Amino acid sequence: MSVKRDGSDVGKEVVGERVVELVESGMVVGFGTGSTVGVFLRELAGRDVDVVGVCTSFDTELLARRLGFDVRSLSSVGSVDLAVDGADQVDFDGNLIKGGGAAHFREKVVASFSDRFVCIVDDTKVDSELDLPVPIEVAPFALENVLGEIGCLGGEGVLRSCGEKDGPLVTDNGNFVVDTDFGRIQKPERLSKEISCITGVVEHGLFPGMADSVLVGSSDGVRELR
């Protein structure tokens, strides 16, 4: 398992700025979560484009409102033209692990209801195979049972704790997150289905084949992975 590395700020900045070029006035845009998305939102706020934003977390909503965006719920807009979001790891086929910010449930919902989902990462996030722990959002009521089922799939789950105070981290949806080490994930699509089949799992951070494009930023500029 590789250790999560700190992203290069240069990579995040160039890709966060470049993706703004895909946004047109009148669009409903899915606003992902995380520092790379933060670059995108700050850049977008400075442009002369008029969009409606659908946020994937309270953190993003706070930032988007502070930047002056028109923020609406997914239910009120129905669908999204373009979703822009980051990731924690991307393999060469464009499969993603997300959920470092514990927002993967809403991120997956927004990406799924979008005409186009563009993932933006810096080049330290790209690897030949996915091997970071997969964040799994779990209904607290079912925690012990889900941990048992995850073990049956060969995963080793650790309940994510809250950084600031004692106790488990609670997501925007009132659930827990279990970061689950599956080693090298050779078949992300299959594992994704297997985790989804566990009753009590709300959503997990594997996004196999979901991104329409993955843009990778580095000090050399921006390249498209797929």
Q: Tell me if 133 contacts ligand 5RP by CB under 6 A.
A: no
CB of 98 to ligand 5RP, least distance (A): 3
Non-local (6+) Cβ contacts of 98 within 8 A are 85, 86, 87, 88, 104, 107, 108, 135, 205, 207
**Least separation in angstroms between CB 7 and ligand 5RP:** 5
Our finding on whether 11 is near ligand 5RP (CB under 6 A) is no
∠ CA 114-115-116, nearest 5°, is 90
Q: Which of 34, 53, 155, 217 binds ligand 5RP (CB under 6 A)?
A: 34
Q: Does 203 bind ligand 5RP (CB under 6 A)?
A: no
Report the side by side order of strands in the sheet with 126-127.
126-127, 89-91, 96-97, 206-207
> Are 171 and 155 within 8 A, CB to CB?
no
Among 17, 81, 85, 172, binds ligand 5RP (CB under 6 A): 85
CB of 124 to ligand 5RP, least distance (A): 9
Q: Is 107 a catalytic residue?
A: yes
- Active-site residue identified among 13, 17, 61, 107: 107
CB 177 within 8 A of CB 160: yes
Instruction: By CB under 6 A, name the binding residues for ligand 5RP.
Output: 7, 32-36, 85-88, 98-104, 107
User: So which residues are the catalytic ones?
Assistant: 107
